[in-house]
Amino acid sequence: MSASWMGLVIGGFVPALGYALFAVCTKFASQAGIGPGINLVLVGLATVLVGAAFHVFLPSGPLTAPAAAWSLGSGLLWAVGTGFVSLALMRYGIPVSKLNPIYNTNTLLAVVLGLWIFAEWKQVDVTKLLLGALLILSGSLLVAKA
């Protein structure tokens, strides 16, 4: 398997499975009566454990202030999103099968930001990428009306 495909499996398909099961586990937690706050605390503890394991088995260079700031910012943004997912599941009873495809339209924003901020348009077939993004958007709109 080429390095490019291995990167897509490790960074794409494996996380997709994890995020899908995350959504299902979050729904189970909400059905069991957990609130968004304690849910985030427990998810955070799990994140610390997994982060420590990654650090032990895949050590990296020294921690710098800019890297720490970006990491903390990304964690904060992820936690806010996760909290609102938990809130929607718990308080509003939204089906996870309907909610998950909608909040995963974050892909569209990540595509646009990656193309713009990191000039990734130089590395990808923009036509195919935008066509795929349109399919994601149309699928999300269809799911929202399901």
CA gap 100, 24 in Å, rounded: 9
In a domain, 99, yes or no: no
Reported confidence tier of residue 107, pLDDT bands at 50, 70, 90:
confident
Residue reference for tokens 């995020």: 19
Same domain? 20 vs 40:
yes
CA gap 132, 14 in Å, rounded: 20
Residue reference for tokens 């291995």: 6
Q: Give the pLDDT confidence of 19-74 residue by residue, as tens digits.
A: 999 999 999 999 999 999 999 999 999 999 999 999 999 988 889 999 999 999 99
Answer whether residue 142 shows pLDDT above 90: no
CB-based contact 99:85 (threshold 8 Å): yes
Nearest to 75 by CA among 104, 55, 102, 46: 46
Same domain? 117 vs 146:
yes
Answer whether residue 102 shows pLDDT above 90: no
Same domain? 83 vs 134:
no
Same domain? 87 vs 146:
no
**What share of the chain has pLDDT > 70, as a percent?**
100
CB-based contact 85:38 (threshold 8 Å): no
In a domain, 89, yes or no: yes
Domain extent at residue 22:
1-56+63-94
In a domain, 131, yes or no: yes
pLDDT in the model for residue 86: 92
Same domain? 73 vs 125:
no
* Token pair listed for 85: 């997912």
CB-based contact 80:122 (threshold 8 Å): no
In a domain, 5, yes or no: yes
Q: How many domains does the chain have?
A: 2
Nearest to 143 by CA among 78, 107, 89, 99: 99
